[in-house]
Chains A and B, each alone.
Chain A
Amino acid sequence: DAKTTQPTSMDCAEGRAANLPCNHSTISGNEYVYWYRQIHSQGPQYIIHGLKNNETNEMASLIITEDRKSSTLILPHATLRDTAVYYCIVRVAGNQFYFGTGTSLTVIP
């Protein structure tokens, strides 16, 4: 599966949109982009995933560039409870989910 690159940490003001970038420049055509988050001392939580089109659910939006080499997870109105480590994962069906080091997001009051 393609390797992903994420910033180590980010801050976001409470109530503002949190935009978390992920670079996956070697992604292949059949690889999906997944996002998970892990709030301290809890199991990872699935957020969203997509292949080519932008996706939105009740938690977040996923914007994938046209060349699919990068994506952005958007939390539209960040709250203190969104403070977590966010993992961007690129995966082919049937392969394992490889969790890298992720981005530690801190939402500031």
Chain B
Amino acid sequence: SAVISQKPSRDICQRGTSLTIQCQVDSQVTMMFWYRQQPGQSLTLIATANQGSEATYESGFVIDKFPISRPNLTFSTLTVSNMSPEDSSIYLCSVEQYGWEKGQETQYFGPGTRLLVL
């Protein structure tokens, strides 16, 4: 399975500022995903990031608020822009790998970035 790292692991930010979260994978992958997990809640998909194309955002998430870059097959960034306390969450990146033996994709997750906005 892919090994995924995220930076920073946690941060405390002031409202109105922006934070860029990095996601690095140890192998080349086509599909990368960004999720948000608000306190006490389950995971919510923000967007899908494919290399060489614009990210696809889920309902309720917009590019101006969460711009995403995908410069190559092992790296992606998510920026949380103009932050407010409501953006305090864990942000997770994940990658999808195809299991030829079982004929299905599996997603693997990074450790997450814990963001607190004051």
Residues of A at the B interface (CB closer than 8 Å) are 32, 34, 41-46, 49, 51, 87, 93-94, 96-97, 99-102
Contacts and interface: CB of A to CB of B under 8 A. Distances in A.
Interface residues of B, number: 21
Contacts of A44: 43, 92, 94, 109
Give me the 8 closest cross-chain CB pairs, A-B, nearest first.
A43-B109, A99-B43, A99-B42, A44-B109, A43-B112, A43-B111, A43-B92, A43-B110
Interface string B7-45: 000000000000000000000000001000000001101
The A interface is mostly helix, strand or loop, or mixed, namely loop
B42 A102 contact: yes
Contacts of B106: 34, 46, 49
A46 B111 contact: no
A100 B102 CA distance: 24
B1 A101 contact: no
Quick one: which of A41, A93, A97, A101 has the most chain B CB within 10 A? A97
Given A43-B111, A97-B107, 17 more contacts: A32-B104, A41-B114, A43-B92, A43-B94, A44-B92, A44-B94, A45-B109, A46-B106, A46-B107, A46-B108, A87-B42, A96-B45, A96-B48, A99-B42, A99-B43, A100-B42, A101-B42
